[in-house]
Amino acid sequence: MTVMPKSLPAIGRNAAFFVDFDGTLVDIAAMPDLVHVEPRVGNLLEALTDDLSGAVAVITGRPLGTVDAFLAPLKLPVAAEHGLVRRDAAGSLHVEDSALTSMDAASNRLGRFEAEHEGVILERKRVSVALHYRLRPELGEACEAAAIAAIKGEPALEVLRGKMVFEVRPKGLNKGTAVSAFLAEMPFQGRLPMFAGDDVTDEDAFKVVNARGGVTIKIGEGETTAQYRTDRDGLFAWAATIGKD
């Protein structure tokens, strides 16, 4: 399904490039720590950072430190944990930590569920937790029920559904609000926004970028509000042309 650059719009240097991590920059792995970051990932992000005067950011569900480790030595602006932890282009951190007590309670409940179900992985992040069931897809409904039960009586929390994962997190911030925050700051301000992502969690960002007249790209299959669709190879081929006019 590879879409070559000519099938996607030509983009000049006045652009802001926002991109998801898992399933977009890298292939999804069976376990979160097993992803392989190809050399072309760092090469592309570094080239785009130069061509777009630093207006490049990763928008991901991953913890900030994990993204930095995977992309080292690059240290980009990042919206981690679906926007709950955001490092801006100046290096300042913006963290939504008002619901930590509720998060601890929910995490403890899900920890008990994890202990009782082999192959289910609870990923504890800074201000959220993710329940992965990629190794046990038949437990999807049970994991969803456990996540919903974990936030019972915790009105500040919500359950976010992704590919083979349910994330328990504070309400109010998402990938769309993260993109909006970046676009209000330099060097992103006043630029044409672009966003590429593969998961249902990327739809919030697609909606924001579409509303601003930008370019949205869905990686892979599934319903979407994105304007274009391609695979990872198509994305890399197209992105290499950005800012080259």
Q: Closest Cα to residue 83, out of 71, 94, 72?
A: 94
Active-site residue flag, 104? no
Question: Are the C-beta atoms of residues 78 and 60 closer than 8 Å to each other?
Answer: yes
Question: What is the radius of gyration, based on Cα positions, of the chain?
Answer: 18
Query: Which of 216, 236, 245 shows the shortest CA–CA distance to 5?
Result: 236
* Alpha-carbon gap, residue 119 to 106, rounded angstroms: 20
Task: Say how many C-beta atoms besides its own lie within 10 A of residue 192's C-beta.
Answer: 18
DSSP 25: T
Q: Which of 81, 86, 91 is nearest to 181 (CA)?
A: 86
Cα separation, 148 vs 143, in Å, equals 9
Is residue 131 within 8 Å of 110, Cβ to Cβ?
A: yes
Let me know the angle formed at the C-alpha of 24 by 23 and 29, rounded to the nearest 5 degrees. Answer: 25
Q: Annotated catalytic sites, by residue?
A: 20
